Structures are given as C-alpha cells and as structure tokens.
Amino acid sequence: MDQIAVKAEAKVNPTEDEEKVKRAIQNVIFNPSFEVVSMGREKFIVATSHGRDGLAKLYNLFRQERILDAARKALF
C-alpha cells in the first residue's frame, strides 16, 4: 500500500550547471536517484524517489508557504 513512486524531470539548458539543477530537485524531493538523459541536442535530468518520504519535502513546502489550496488546484 506504500508504493508511491515520485518522478521529476527537468530540462538542462546549455547555460545551466547540471549540479545546480540536481540541487534544485533535491530541495523538493527527498533522496532522489538521478539519471541524465540526452535527446538529440537536449539534456534532461530525471529524478526518482520511492515511498511517502519522497513527497515529504514538497508537502512541507506547501504547508510552510501556505499554498495548499493553490497547489491542490494545480495538481488536480
């Protein structure tokens, strides 16, 4: 019943530092594993995490910033 899979994808532009993009993802997802995917000239970072802990940081950010209603509307 606790089989939650969290996946985040971010495009890395040529002017961006790959490590900074990874850090930004880590600010939202707990303990992600990263994979760098190249599609032609574009590069993407795919982060995955499993379980409820993966969403804990995002949940806490929503509560801290008091944007639960807006986040709920955007997610649905």
Q: Does 2 have pLDDT greater than 70? A: no
CA 76/CA 22 separation, integer angstroms: 26
Q: Encode pLDDT of 30-71 as tens digits.
A: 999 999 999 999 999 999 999 888 888 988 989 898 998 898
Minimal CA–CA distance to 1: which of 45, 40, 68, 51? Answer: 51
Instruction: Say which CATH topology domain 5-75 has.
Output: 50s Ribosomal Protein L5; Chain: A, (3.30.1440)
CA 73/CA 54 separation, integer angstroms: 21
